[in-house]
Structure 1
Amino acid sequence: MVRRHWINLNGMWDYLITDSRILPWQFYKSEYFPFDGQILVPFSPEAPLSQVKRQLLPDETLWYSRTIQLPENCLNTESQRLLLHFGAVDQICSVYINRKFVTYHKGGYLPFTTDITDFITEDLTVSILISVHDFSDTSYHARGKQQLKRGGMFYTAQSGIWQTVWMEIVPNKYIRDVRVTPDWDNSLVRMRIRVSSASSAENASPAHISPTAADQTDSQGTVLAFSPDRQNSSNVICKVYPPVFLEADGLNDTLCQDEITTAAIRPGKGATLSIPENMQKSWTPKEPWLYPYSLEYGKDRILGYFALRKCDVQIADDNYPRFFLNNQPYFQSGVLDQGYWPDGLYTAPSDEALIYDIRAMKDLGFNMLRKHGKIETDRWYFHCDRMGMLVWQDMPNGGSSYHHWFVTYLATLLNWMRIPVKDLHARLLSRTDEFGRQEYIDDIRDMVRTLYNHPSIVTWVPFNEGWGQFSTKKVTDFIHRLDPSRLVDSASGWFDQGCGDINSLHYYFLGLPVPESDRVLALSEFGGYSLRLPEHSACKNIYGYKKFTTSEALTDSFSRLMENTIVPSVKKGYSATVFTQLSDIEEETNGLITYDRKKIKMNPLIVQKWNTKLKKSLHS
């Protein structure tokens, strides 16, 4: 959804923290408004880079204010709309434009957009006021691993705006969203486009549309794209360009060649586009080919990309269910990635910082990242798409306070003994609140819709280690209906309910279980080996499952673990592993690299060697 013209609103905003959730109109209507100071958006007030460095408490409200003066004649309110976008605001926020309420959004991890055209003044002044309330770990809302009193495996809570804020000027008739699904087996992509001004029928889901006799359909009843000579003003013109390796700065320089296919697509109806045989290139971590495309709808034009790739589970020659990539067995060697930075917390200090983490893991021989405990900025997924990194995406956990004696310690023992536990214990699993369960379902739906088009994402992970787990089978079926093209790891760690595509286990203590399963086996967390390097650490306290004092000792122990347990597990059916973790985070010093990203703590050549052996063992 890249457009040519947009206005970045990151930068210095005025802020105020109050002990009231009521808008202080008596100040806002006057010329004097008692701000506490300025905050650097998009960094949360708890992050050093915000220049505030203060914890927002559950009974407080964080206010943001900024006034934008749009250039004269830049917006024609009769033929154009002004959209205000938020990448993510943690946790609940209200938006006011020129002292009028515009919208309300709940959920700290997902983007939202609001049309503010009707609220701006004739002189094109846009005065933005935002209120934010964050319950953190005192309520059932999704929070990942944030905690007001950080420590151990839980980290500094953050709040407020933590992803980019921007505005776009679009025509009255504009493209709202695009959904692209690759069909690797048939060298097709299925595309659905929704627009702003079409009738409700045009914007309906394709599942509820019956093609008319005049429509050309394929064997699945999907409406095929019209040829360009049948276009009219209500159609979207799609042009697909030759596959490329994208550079870090994006799509703007990729459309220098002639398109390989062109079609006119009816908004709201599923369209099928065929890729010419001489232009078919598969996306893999080794060769991440991407197809740029442009969409034109009246005066609106956007750029995007898709990939031809297929990730599923099939029975391999050794009779085990295995992960397959483009119909070939493919071992996924991954790393747990929680996306915390010492200066920005949830927000990377720069685009280069996002790239560094992905590149560092690829250089160590990993081909998959499990994004754990948060939904990352869209830019991160773009880099995974273009650099070739598979992604397992967690839904950030929520629920009331966790009973660690049950979901951590007892669960570890029961998992090792292969004693199943049903997910019916709502109180023990911290999911007694009906509103919290419904909010979780809404967040799952929005997460899948938001990230659907990224080819790097191959697996959804709704629950981790029983934290807020409930109705696992129903949630799994819901995700499969939302996205039949990807796999679901229903319950990462333990409390497996026998559903989903993956039998997912964690191994930190006791022996590694090898259950008999008709689903693919994944070691979705292991390791946790801890080494604190004082000059590169955030805290004096150390949290980890096995502690070391030197890099050499850490590397040697990692090698023994790989040689004696992890690599042999592949022959027993395991098809993916996830090492804990990418970087240190505060007290948790079990990262491959330090929290400040300045040191790799193990010998890189040794890590590369074992990753090579791990992946080769699938075929030996």
Structure 2
Amino acid sequence: MSAPPAPLSELPLASRQDGSHPRPQLIRSTWADLDGTWSFRHDDADTGLAAGWCAGLPAAQEIIVPFPPESVASGIAEPGFHRVVWYARTVSADDVATAGRSEHAPVVLLHFGAVDYRARVWIDGRFVGEHEGGHTPFTFDVTALVADGADHVLVVRAEDDPHDLTQPRGKQDWHEDAHAIWYRRTTGIWQTVWLEAVPATSIAHLRWLPAGPAAVDLSVRLRGRPAAGARLRVALRFDERDEDLGTIDVDVPATATSVDVTVPIARQRNGQAEDELTWSPERPRLVDATVSLLDADGGVTDAVSSYLGVRTVGVARGAFLLNGRPYDVRSVLNQGFWPDSHLAAPSRGALRREVELIKDLGFTACRIHQKIEDPRFLYWSDRLGLLLWGETPGAYEFSATAVQRLTREWMDAVDRDASHPSLVTWVPFNESWGIQHVADDPAQQAYSRALTDLTRALDPTRPVVSNDGWEQQNSDIITVHDYEGDGAVLARTYADEAARDRLLSGMGPAGRRILVDGAEDRGQPVMLTEFGGIAFQPGTRRADGWGYTAATDAEDWIARITALYDAVRASTFLAGSCYTQLTDTMQETNGLLTAGREPKAPIEQIRKAVRGRP
């Protein structure tokens, strides 16, 4: 019987982690962070491969990973066009030891959180692997290359063509200078690089999905094939009340690479007590889980710590439902962009602070806009209680290549994030980006329908918005973008059922039809998912900022926001809303906060405008 790679008692409590682990729902007791100072070179002539840079970088600069080279925080601060960049660092024997390599965990994995857009990786000049997709994680087994107790040179080549509009890119500008609603690019490594040691057969991925109010479905992917007689053990615990919620064992066939199991939560069968455990923004209760792989003799060969939230989401009778009851989605648009570090957060603590600020401003939800956010932001949303909409970064061309690239990356994003209870809605398209002629083009209509249905196939437990803002077909929620700045006009547009009928049967506020290709109003919830966008720069009357409308001073700004929210609150049919936007972002000055995350008026005044009460 083999010993576990680490005693179960040493596994961290996933629901109470400090927010540093780059994969917060699958944690082992040890891992090695490779962020920090690396060597770096631009390769504008694309000669690095021929020159042998895969074995090390000559005459290199220093960069701070994971900050992109366009950003000040990286130490490079070069925002121009640079299609190819190179990174290098030493992976020491101490790094491998910190990752936990031992007799029982001999396999060393190299993880990348995200590299935009295409990455190739070498160790000591030997090719390790490659990955395409700028917003999703990937992993390589590097055991044979780093297991000798010596130091080794890790090299990464990243290619991100700013002119290739088939790449899913979100708000990253294809012009050299940021313009309109697009921002500086993020090239290369922008999420954590780390090492982890695992057993020869190990738990590679977990997916938790609700199976009604009294059970959860767990899918487990394995790395390596289990020995005969192996079992999977799942133990749930509600740490908040020191309550054991039960343990279940499942046989694992020797040919299996994945295991699916429904885990009952017996105490939830009593309807009188189910609210004590369910997750919501008001009561973000998390259930801790230990998932163990056992051999035929009952010995633990691998174990990971995880967590989940017991909650359901859905739509019915014009309402968004959380745990079976109507819930008013009061959301804010968040670009996830920082002035000094771009798409990478300036620190791990900044991710927690972002969630806290959103809640302090009076919001219950956040629409992550055109970005697959760092998993640690999702963890703090789970932990502190914030609903999230997950949205793919769009491409800007419709072609076979663009379809293949975005579909693959979106599938990986859904797979990565489906376990987070905070994430309640999927958004595969926004404002017809990449499907510019979807109103009339049958091919683009087929693509939009197909990706929406594919999302449902991957995750049938959440509503899907087919094309946020306009030109929707088979959407579970009908969403509208309307930047009308006059609260009285907005109130008339969304007043009652007659207004709803006019909105959905005619042209939308942006001159785009809300429903296309014969799509019918089936009584879905209607949400105003972009509105506001009022520019205001405290302390100046300069006109160098951009917004959909503009306020002259703080009093005028608060009055305008209040009038818009009064219109939303007065509507008899709107099931939710999303204000644009959380922070000023580069040339856009329409945030509730400055780019440095400072409120533009006393936060109590903003909260009262958003909530209609203190």
Question: In the aligned structure 2, how far is the partner of 1:121 from the partner of 1:351?
Answer: 30
**Residue 557 of structure 2 aligns with which residue?**
554
**Residue 524 of structure 1 aligns with which residue?**
529
One-letter identity of the residue aligned with 1:528: G
Superposition pairs of residues 323-362 of structure 1, within 5 angstroms? 323-362=320-359
In the alignment, structure 1 residue 515 sits paired with structure 2 residue 517: no
CA positional deviation for 1:364: 1.9
- The answer to which of 541-550 and 499-508 deviates more is 541-550
CA positional deviation for 1:347: 1.1
**Residue 4 of structure 2 aligns with which residue?**
none
CA positional deviation for 1:34: 2.1
**Residue 172 of structure 1 aligns with which residue?**
200
CA positional deviation for 1:534: 6.0
In the alignment, structure 1 residue 282 sits paired with structure 2 residue 278: yes
- Alpha-carbon displacement from aligned partner over 1:323-362 (angstroms, at most 9, x marks no partner): 1111111100000011111111111111221122211121
**Residue 182 of structure 2 aligns with which residue?**
154
Secondary structure class of the residue paired with 1:155 = coil
Question: In the aligned structure 2, how far is the partner of 1:14 from the partner of 1:390?
Answer: 39
Q: RMSD of the alignment, in Å?
A: 2.5
**Residue 211 of structure 2 aligns with which residue?**
183
User: Contact 2:535 / 2:591 at 8 angstroms: preserved in 1?
Assistant: yes
In the alignment, structure 1 residue 438 sits paired with structure 2 residue 421: no
Q: 1:543 aligns with which of 536, 541, 546?
A: 546
Q: 2:310 aligns with which of 308, 311, 319?
A: 308
Question: In the aligned structure 1, how far is the partner of 2:250 from the partner of 2:535?
Answer: 54
Question: In the aligned structure 2, how far is the partner of 1:263 from the partner of 1:168?
Answer: 27
> Against the structure 1 CA distance between its residues 534 and 438, is the aligned structure 2 distance closer, same or farther, given a 3 Å change threshold?
farther
User: Contact 1:77 / 1:117 at 8 angstroms: preserved in 2?
Assistant: no
- Alpha-carbon displacement from aligned partner over 1:297-319 (angstroms, at most 9, x marks no partner): 2432210001110111122xxxx
Secondary structure class of the residue paired with 1:555 = helix
Question: In the aligned structure 1, how far is the partner of 2:62 from the partner of 2:539?
Answer: 33
- Alpha-carbon displacement from aligned partner over 1:577-605 (angstroms, at most 9, x marks no partner): 0000000001100001000112x124433
Q: 1:486 aligns with which of 438, 449, 462?
A: 462
One-letter identity of the residue aligned with 1:501: D
**Residue 380 of structure 1 aligns with which residue?**
377
One-letter identity of the residue aligned with 2:162: S
**Residue 88 of structure 1 aligns with which residue?**
114
> Against the structure 1 CA distance between its residues 579 and 142, is the aligned structure 2 distance closer, same or farther, given a 3 Å change threshold?
same
In the alignment, structure 1 residue 506 sits paired with structure 2 residue 468: no
Question: In the aligned structure 2, how far is the partner of 1:135 from the partner of 1:442?
Answer: 18
**Residue 271 of structure 1 aligns with which residue?**
261
CA positional deviation for 1:22: 4.6
**Residue 66 of structure 2 aligns with which residue?**
42
TM-score calculated relative to the size of structure 2: 0.81
**Residue 19 of structure 2 aligns with which residue?**
none
CA positional deviation for 1:464: 0.9
One-letter identity of the residue aligned with 1:196: R
User: Contact 1:56 / 1:134 at 8 angstroms: preserved in 2?
Assistant: no
- The answer to which of 578-587 and 17-26 deviates more is 17-26
In the alignment, structure 1 residue 64 sits paired with structure 2 residue 64: no
**Residue 512 of structure 2 aligns with which residue?**
none
In the alignment, structure 1 residue 591 sits paired with structure 2 residue 591: yes
**Residue 211 of structure 1 aligns with which residue?**
none
CA positional deviation for 1:198: 2.1
Secondary structure class of the residue paired with 2:144 = helix
Give 5+ residue unaligned stretches, structure 1.
Answer: 203-231, 246-256, 316-320, 401-430, 616-620
Secondary structure class of the residue paired with 2:331 = strand
User: Contact 1:92 / 1:108 at 8 angstroms: preserved in 2?
Assistant: yes
Question: In the aligned structure 1, how far is the partner of 2:150 from the partner of 2:408?
Answer: 35
Give 5+ residue unaligned stretches, structure 2.
Answer: 1-25, 253-257, 294-299, 436-443, 502-520
**Residue 511 of structure 2 aligns with which residue?**
none
**Residue 250 of structure 1 aligns with which residue?**
none
Question: In the aligned structure 1, how far is the partner of 2:613 from the partner of 2:538?
Answer: 28
**Residue 432 of structure 2 aligns with which residue?**
466
Question: In the aligned structure 1, how far is the partner of 2:40 from the partner of 2:433?
Answer: 34
**Residue 405 of structure 1 aligns with which residue?**
none
Question: In the aligned structure 1, how far is the partner of 2:263 from the partner of 2:250?
Answer: 10
CA positional deviation for 1:78: 9.2
- Alpha-carbon displacement from aligned partner over 1:94-118 (angstroms, at most 9, x marks no partner): 0111211111111111111111112
> Against the structure 1 CA distance between its residues 122 and 609, is the aligned structure 2 distance closer, same or farther, given a 3 Å change threshold?
closer
Secondary structure class of the residue paired with 2:59 = coil
In the alignment, structure 1 residue 142 sits paired with structure 2 residue 138: no
User: Contact 1:183 / 1:308 at 8 angstroms: preserved in 2?
Assistant: no
- The answer to which of 343-352 and 131-140 deviates more is 131-140
**Residue 238 of structure 2 aligns with which residue?**
242
User: Contact 1:56 / 1:159 at 8 angstroms: preserved in 2?
Assistant: no
Question: In the aligned structure 2, how far is the partner of 1:94 from the partner of 1:129?
Answer: 8
Question: In the aligned structure 2, how far is the partner of 1:67 from the partner of 1:310?
Answer: 46
In the alignment, structure 1 residue 196 sits paired with structure 2 residue 223: yes
Superposition pairs of residues 564-575 of structure 1, within 5 angstroms? 565-569=567-571, 571=572, 573-575=573-575
In the alignment, structure 1 residue 14 sits paired with structure 2 residue 39: yes
Secondary structure class of the residue paired with 2:238 = coil
> Against the structure 1 CA distance between its residues 501 and 29, is the aligned structure 2 distance closer, same or farther, given a 3 Å change threshold?
closer
In the alignment, structure 1 residue 112 sits paired with structure 2 residue 138: yes
CA positional deviation for 1:25: 5.7
Question: In the aligned structure 2, how far is the partner of 1:158 from the partner of 1:529?
Answer: 26
Secondary structure class of the residue paired with 1:353 = helix
Aligned length: 527
> Against the structure 1 CA distance between its residues 106 and 77, is the aligned structure 2 distance closer, same or farther, given a 3 Å change threshold?
farther
User: Contact 1:136 / 1:143 at 8 angstroms: preserved in 2?
Assistant: no
User: Contact 1:82 / 1:170 at 8 angstroms: preserved in 2?
Assistant: yes
User: Contact 1:494 / 1:505 at 8 angstroms: preserved in 2?
Assistant: yes
User: Contact 1:14 / 1:35 at 8 angstroms: preserved in 2?
Assistant: no
CA positional deviation for 1:262: 1.1
User: Contact 1:120 / 1:126 at 8 angstroms: preserved in 2?
Assistant: yes
TM-score calculated relative to the size of structure 1: 0.80
Large movers: runs of 4+ above 6 Å? none
Question: In the aligned structure 2, how far is the partner of 1:468 from the partner of 1:398?
Answer: 5
Secondary structure class of the residue paired with 1:487 = coil
- Alpha-carbon displacement from aligned partner over 1:19-66 (angstroms, at most 9, x marks no partner): 243544645488x842331000000001111000013625x3211001
> Against the structure 1 CA distance between its residues 277 and 6, is the aligned structure 2 distance closer, same or farther, given a 3 Å change threshold?
same
